[in-house]
Amino acid sequence: MFAVKLFGRKILKRILPLRFLRAFLKFPSEKQIINNVRALQENYGDKIIIFPSPGTPWGYMFQRPQQLALQFARKGYCVLYCVDKNFVENPDWLVRGMFEIQKNLYLFDDGQFGNTLINVLESPILFTYWPQQYDYAKKIYKKAIWIADCIDDVSNFGNKEALIENYDETIRLSDIQIATATKIQESIFDKHGILAELINNGVNCQDFEQKLINNNSKTISEKSVVGYYGAIASWFDFELMDFLISNNPEINFMVAGQVYPDVIDDFNELTKNDNFRYLGRLPYSEIPKLLSDFDVGIIPFKLNEITLSTNPVKVYEYMAGGKITVATELPELRSLPYVMTASNSKLFNELLNEVIVDARANPTGTKIREASKKYSWENKAEQIIELIESKRNASVSKGVKV
């Protein structure tokens, strides 16, 4: 039934112009939305953070943007996380105007891609993380503190000149630049002479607390489980996965996540194995339980321009779930505890089996969970808030209004 609803929503957004779509979906009046935003302005003043559209849908893969938005709200900032009807799943599609999903955190859809905020808010904080958000940012940045959260290296955009130009202009015009990986930080400095703040990804440790997860019934005699969740795209090493699956018939390989269209054929080959199980794309709320079923988490990525500048969220979540990670030699993983990296398939397989045997003989889940607390999203948000306050204080001391 829900699949039928999704199909209907896709048809609606394709055939109806924006103004008719707003009327059909019964958005509040423009005046009402403006009044609601003004009320937030009065209550929060300059402590309003906009996550603009287009961006990561709230109901899609729950990663850095959503996690930071949650933490900012918990620190007393009002967060307006813009969504739109290009994403037809819940809760994004259900938003009409403002929808409070937790204290201080609102999903926002005015039916005009957030333009109401540009016209009404006086001195907001703008948090961008895609170059596609530049067009929105340039309309508001002069009265805002603009944070550019650089989650991709510019080389990942290939020959898309418009995106590269937007990325470069974002770096140039923003007030605070953040890099999620060392390679991104170096790239920004080499091209722009700007030393971006290095703030890696993190984890909400509380979501993975063992007491909140239903205990699984797996016994020591059952097959071990090697797991992965996340995007299954061009950077996923299918040859490595096939090698691991073929050489370990006594191990179950469990994978969850979105399969990108360009790798479907390669992925389908994996599904032919009896010891491979695909669970589809799961909501974030189900990830802690899934992770509790793993004996070890893996990150089987190829080494290329994308992954060399990737700081995987999942490695911190594996850690919070008490699991050792076995991965390919991604630069961002080298300094992390409880992570083992391999330079080839044979070594990866050897490490994987060593970890499984050791994990069952000498459980270290409690120590690993404790180590994960260092990488909490709360800590990451606090670092960013310090940057905001420092920028604001510096501007005030110079007599500049922000």
pLDDT of 284:
95
Instruction: Tell me, yes or no, whether 110 lies in a domain.
Output: yes
Residue 56 placed within a domain: yes
Query: Which residues are registered as beta bridge partners of 299?
Result: 327
pLDDT of residue 233: 96
* Domain assignment of residue 106, yes or no: yes
* pLDDT under 70: residue ranges of the chain: 1-10, 12-23, 157-159, 211-221, 396-402
For residue 220, the model assigns a pLDDT of 45
147 and 219, same domain (yes or no): no
DSSP string, 79-147: EEEE--TTS-STTGGG-SEEEEEETTEEEEE-SSTTHHHHHH-SS-EEEE-SGGGHHHHHHHGGGSEEE
The number of C-alpha atoms within 13 Å of 99 and in the hemisphere containing its C-beta is 17
Specify whether the CB–CB gap between 253 and 174 falls below 8 A: no
228 - beta bridge partners?
255
- The total of structural domains in the chain comes to 2
Query: Distance (Å, rounded) from C-alpha 66 to C-alpha 69?
Result: 5
Q: Are residues 330 and 293 part of one domain? A: yes
Q: How far is CA 322 from CA 28, 226, 265, 300, 373, in A?
A: 46, 14, 33, 19, 11
Q: Is residue 136 part of a domain?
A: yes
Structure tokens at 46: 């300059």
Check which CATH number belongs to the domain holding 347 and give it.
3.40.50.2000
State whether 166 and 240 are in the same domain: no
Indicate the residue type of 202: G
Q: At what angle do helices 313-320 and 365-372 cross, to 10 degrees?
A: 130
In terms of residue numbers, what domain contains 94?
Answer: 2-202+379-397
Q: Which long-range contacts (CB under 8 A, 24 or more apart) does 214-217 make?
A: 214/289, 215/292, 216/289, 216/292, 216/293
Are both 155 and 225 inside the same structural domain? no
Q: Which amino acid is at 62?
A: F
Residues whose CB falls within 8 Å of the CB of residue 297, separated by 6 or more in sequence, listed in order: 226, 227, 228, 291, 314, 315, 318, 321, 323, 324, 325, 326
Query: Is residue 402 one of the residues assigned to a domain?
Result: no
- Kindly state whether residues 60 and 196 are assigned to the same domain: yes
Q: Say yes or no: 215 and 186 in one domain.
A: no
Residues 209 and 282 occupy one common structural domain: yes
How much is the pLDDT for 328? Answer: 98
Shared domain for 330 and 385, answered yes or no, is no
Residue type, 343: S
What was the pLDDT predicted at 65? Answer: 98
pLDDT at position 222: 81
Q: Output the CA angle 124-42-389, nearest 5 degrees.
A: 40
Residue partners of 365: CB distance under 8 A and separation at least 6: 210, 321, 322, 323
Give residue 79's identity as a one-letter amino acid code: V
What does the alpha-carbon distance between residue 111 and residue 17 come to, in Å, rounded to a whole number?
A: 11
Give yes or no: residues 32 and 173 share one domain: yes
Asked whether residue 97 falls in the same domain as residue 25, the answer is: yes
Is residue 22 located within the same domain as residue 160? yes
* Cα–Cα distances in angstroms (integers) from residue 125 to residues 46, 95, 276, 387, in the given order: 8, 22, 46, 12
- Identify whether 306 is part of a domain: yes
Instruction: Tell me if 113 is assigned to some domain.
Output: yes
- Distance from C-alpha of 50 to C-alpha of 146, rounded to nearest angstrom: 10
Q: Quick one: 54 exposed, middle or buried, by C-beta within 10 A (0-12, 13-18, 19+)?
A: middle
Of the chain, the end-to-end C-alpha distance in Å amounts to 49
Residue 268, in any domain of the structure? yes
Q: Are both 390 and 340 inside the same structural domain? A: no
d(CA 213, CA 229): 18
Nearest to 249 by CA among 214, 230, 227, 223: 223
CA count, 13 A, side-chain hemisphere, 282: 16
